[in-house]
Copies of this chain bind each other. A is one copy, B any other.
Amino acid sequence: MTDIRALVWGENVHEQTNKVVADIYPEGMHTQIAKLLTAERGITAKTVTLQQPDHGLTEKVLAETDVLLWWGHAAHGDVEDEIVERVVERVWQGMGFIALHSAHFAKPFKRLMGTPCSLKWREAGERERFWQVNPRHPIAAGLPDHFELENEEMYGEAFAVPEPLETVFISWFQGGEVFRSGMTWRRGAGNVFYFRPGHETYPTYHQPVIGQVLRNAVRWANNEQADIADPKNAPNVPVEEALEPIEERGPKLHGHGEEGFK
């Protein structure tokens, strides 16, 4: 079995502008996330950032990516719409997509969900406790029935996303809120996972348990099958190629071999 090719997209803004964040993640959050992914065999991880040409997400780079992880917060608006569409179409082809923490408002995640993805929040360094609600889901492999982060930002329901395929984790917060902190969806051939924790002023991506979840999620999101080459294509099936013999009847809009409207 060949390695899964993960790519970590980092916004890389607060690491450059905020001393607290820079001290926790001196090489950038994306680099630390990539280290978590490669802490066990079977996953290779590269990183790209907002500041690169095409935000690092060229056609070639995406074509060589099995699972994309996305961390962004301060600069969602700086991500070019053309690149967002490129990412979304790559997901439809079969690339996995994992949205991390404040990426609930990242453009590609919002595009894939079709909902506002809004929530409540509070930055108080409070305790977050994750509960498994779906034991033996692949993303929960090897995890205890609950685990904690002593300091995290709070995200509270209602989280405005579509009903998921499956809910994997729900978080309890010290200040009194709850949040569905791990959920799965499929979009085209692409598996999508949202994982809540990861505020930049806390050392969340230095926690081994978070690494375990992320590696599980990459393995789950990886679609081993061949890509859908052109997921937007709506092919015409000519009458003479119908699987059951039929005769054309009634008036038509389209001439033979004509493309459909888009």
Interface, chain A (partner B; CB < 8 A): 14, 18, 20, 73-77, 88-89, 92, 94, 102, 105, 111-116, 118-126, 129, 131-136, 138, 141-142, 145-146, 151, 154, 156-160, 162-163, 165-167, 170-178, 180, 185-189, 199-202, 223-226, 228, 231-239, 242-244, 246-254, 260-262
Contact = CB atoms under 8 A, between A and B. Distances in A.
Contacts of A186: 134, 162-163, 166
Given A115-B92, A249-B151, A253-B18, A170 B157 contact: yes
B136 A159 contact: no
Minimum-distance CB pairs A-B, first 5: A125-B250, A176-B243, A125-B249, A136-B189, A175-B242
B162 A171 contact: no
A1 to B, nearest CB: 8
Given A125-B248, A172-B178, A133 B114 contact: no
A14 B252 CA distance: 12
A178 B146 CA distance: 11
30 contacts: A14-B253, A18-B253, A73-B261, A94-B136, A105-B262, A118-B231, A120-B237, A121-B237, A122-B239, A124-B246, A124-B249, A129-B176, A131-B157, A131-B178, A133-B157, A133-B158, A134-B158, A135-B158, A135-B228, A136-B189, A145-B158, A156-B237, A163-B166, A165-B166, A174-B244, A176-B242, A176-B243, A178-B178, A200-B253, A202-B250
A176 B166 contact: no
Contact of A246 (B116, B119, B162, B174): B174
A3 to B, nearest CB: 15
Nearest to A118: B234
Nearest to A239: B124
Contacts of A247: 124
B185 A162 contact: yes
